[in-house]
Amino acid sequence: MSSDSEFPVHWENPDDANLYWTRDAVHEPRPSLPLRRSFSRQIIGPGVERTMQVYQMPGQSRSILVNGYMFETKIADAPDVTKQKQQRAHAILDEHIADLPRRWYDEFEPELRRDLAAWRAFDLPDATWDGLAQHFAQMTERMVRHWEIHFFTVFPVLHSTRVLSQLYEKLTGDHDEQAPYILVAGFPNKTTERDMALWQLTELARQSPAVTNAFTAHAPNVLMPVLRALSDPASQNFVAVLDDYRSQYGERGEGSLHLPTWHEDPTFVLMVIKAYLAGARREPATELQAVANEREQMIAETLTKIPVSERDAFMQTLQRAQAIAPLRETHAFYIDQASVAHFRYAVVEMAKRLAQMGVLKKPDDVFYLELNELREVIHYPESANVKALIAQRRTDHARWSQLAAPSAIGTPPTEPQSSDPEQAKFFRPINTDVPAGHISELKGAAGSRGLARGRAVVVLSEREFARVQPGDILVCATTFPPWTPLFRVISGLVTDAGGVLSHGAIVAREYKLPAVVGTGIATRVIGDGTLLEVDGTKGVVKIIETGD
């Protein structure tokens, strides 16, 4: 852990210093803004609580905010109680694994589609202030339900891979962490659908010399007006299909409420197309089929290692896990991305009007308000006095962003703590302390097999993706689902946070992209242009040659 001088901790409750608090660097690699933090507590939090009740999961958790970062501690039950609750929870989850495909396709997805259709139909710019306030209130109420669906889906998916990996190791004696998850890779989902559509859009761009010339001559952030000004039929067709793509897949961004979605700002989409055009021609459909072929070959090889009497039971476990594996990405398409995008759209519209009223100095000040504070401002804008508060929070956030947040604070436990092994594969405990002396290699989790060599590009925000060139090795704190189109541009992936079940590792395996995740310090010790060798089989990153 970092020292207090590097990351000063003020304990509002002095007793909390005696507890051990860990940071979720997978979802929140940087200090989050007040609206994002309160969204987590008031909308995502109830979804977690409700799901834990339904699945009767053991233990409780508490969270605190320190320097803009969320830290969490687990409050365990007595060991005998924990064991009883775990057995009960696993039995309930087993039932939900079997029923999840029906629930998702017959109940959850139609429910989400209905809400999203209603929100798309609501005319934000032309709504009255009272109508906008009512829409926002109804939306936030429904979003709690969306996050219930999120966890009702994710927990059984995680449990299915837990059961599969434990059974795989027991029956084969193979301790390779990646192996069980290759058995559930290569199935179509909303992420692969979206990325395939973007590649097909790139192939359409190649058919118009005017379009390809425009991509070569202009930066992505200024390209859209240039494309719209092109008059030849092929160019106009490309722009029409591009607009359709953004309409269909554009309700997503980096995962931060304060950043625009692809629908609002096409820069990210155009940047990826530009990189695709600059790279070698590929056959994504063939590549995806290769992943499926590898999966089927590995299933056949695995069965030869398993006693005949156990094969039927293993295949039943595998098939159940395969049936729900695509939902890990597909649920995010509707909830983490589209649902959150519409929350942002409503917030942005209100912020514009609040700035016009003089309540906010500028529209993006709204992201420095807590959700309850925003609700208060919505109902009583004429008496709102939040400018000084927002100015202070901007200053605090800028200062916190310069801190190197540790992976944990408080008092480490004196005895080993029981933990969910599957969760540990997702969040993977990491050490964020930078060792003294020369660093020639970093160790992390083996996220996706293979060996890659290339120049590092260190990216801390989606806004920096224009620097990514074909063949680069992407070095980042963590990855978010909208980033995956870049996985066909880069040659390897290195992250600070995450384990073999983190988003970056899962998708890297789908793209056969060598990946080492959970290094703890990669973004702090690797510079742009550094020549790296990424061994995604062993979980090692070698620093071959530092950049200029």
| Residues 530, 288, 507, 423, Cα dihedral to 10° | -140
How far from chain centre, in Å, is Cα 135? 27
Instruction: Report the predicted TM-score, pTM, of the whole model to 2 decimal places.
Output: 0.90
What b/e readout covers 267-301, taking b as 16+ CB neighbours within 10 angstroms? bbbbbbbbbbbeeeeeebeeebeebeebbeeeeee
Tens digit of each residue's pLDDT (9 = 90 or more) over 97-111 = 999 999 999 999 999
- For the chain, what is the mean pLDDT? 91
Q: What is the pLDDT of residue 297?
A: 96
Q: For 207-339, where are the alpha helices, taking DSSP H only?
A: 209-217, 223-229, 233-249, 267-278, 284-305, 308-324, 327-332
Q: What is the pLDDT of residue 434?
A: 81
Q: What is the pLDDT of residue 255?
A: 60
Q: What is the pLDDT of residue 318?
A: 97
* Residue located via tokens 């660093």: 439
Tens digit of each residue's pLDDT (9 = 90 or more) over 172-221 = 999 988 999 999 999 999 988 998 999 999 999 999 999 999 999 999 99
Q: What is the pLDDT of residue 416?
A: 60
Cβ–Cβ under 8 Å, residues 448 and 186:
no
Percent of the chain topping pLDDT 90: 69
The two tokens of residue 246 are 């953004």
The two tokens of residue 157 are 């998916």
- 543 φ, ψ (degrees, to nearest 5): -95, 105
Positions in the chain short of pLDDT 70: 1-5, 253-255, 416-424, 426-429, 547-548
